Amino acid sequence: MFWIDTDNVITVTGLTNVETDSYVADASLTMGLFYTETVLNPDAVVAVDGTGGKTNIPVTAHGLTTVDYIHIFGTLNYDGEYQITSIPDADTIQITQTYVAETFTGEELIKQAVRRSSGTWPETLSYVAASNGNYLGQLPNEIYLFPDIYYELIITEVSNDENDQVVVKLLQRAGFKGF
């Protein structure tokens, strides 16, 4: 479970490994903040080589621009956070990621990330020593949440500090309205 207080402090409590039913201690939690109104699905076609370390992703009538940041979920090769590098046309976005052949099902998700005025996403949450899977972090102060807009905070990854191995992806999500 996690929540955000009025000082933008994010608290995660009781993070548990579902296989062992034990608390996850001393890991690295990575999170992102997204607009809930902007959820897109790539077209059920193939990714296209954009050359030079770039990949074109077909997304009909996406409405995004090159200043937008997105997070892609549910693909084999393209999960992660990206700034859109180019808009080849109204139905295609380009990201900086080496092309790997993949056919999308149309069920994958592309979420528009809340843009920061400085720094980059993702943010990390720190383990609270000697706790039962508790972590703390803070939304950056430069983020302004607009009233009456719905947002989604997603813990996108949990990594083990010993070998930086990703343990979990798309762990938890919480929706809330700007205040």
| pLDDT one-digit tens code per residue, 96-150 | 999 999 999 999 999 887 765 555 555 677 777 767 778 777 776 666 666 666 7
Any idea which of 64-68, 132-136, 153-157, 163-167 has the lowest mean pLDDT? 163-167
β-partners of residue 4 are: 10
Q: Which residues contact 121 (CB under 8 A, 6 or more apart)?
A: 32, 33, 69, 81, 113
Q: What is the pLDDT of residue 157?
A: 62
Q: Where are the beta strands (DSSP E) in the chain?
A: 2-4, 9-12, 16-17, 22-23, 27-40, 48-49, 54-58, 69-73, 80-83, 86-89, 92-96, 109-113, 123-127, 135-138, 150-160, 165-177
C-alpha distances in Å from residue 146, one per residue of 68, 150, 179: 17, 9, 7
Q: Within a 13 Å sphere around the CA of 78, how many CA atoms are in the beta-carbon half?
A: 33
Rounded distance, CA 82 to CA 24, Å?
28
Distance CA 78, CA 59 (A): 14
Considering the entire predicted model, what is its pTM?
A: 0.68
Burial 116-125 (b: 16+ CB within 10 A, else e): eeeeebbbeb
Q: Which two tokens stand for residue 92?
A: 């295609």
Q: Return the pLDDT at 177.
A: 52
Q: Inform me whether the pLDDT recorded for 164 exceeds 50.
A: no
100 neighbors 53 (Cβ within 8 angstroms): no
Query: What are the backbone angles phi and psi of residue 159, rounded to the nearest 5°?
Result: -115, 145
Instruction: List the domain boundaries for the chain.
Output: 2-32+127-177, 42-107
Q: So what's the pLDDT on residue 14?
A: 77
53-83 pLDDT, tens per residue? 999 999 999 999 888 888 898 899 998 888 8
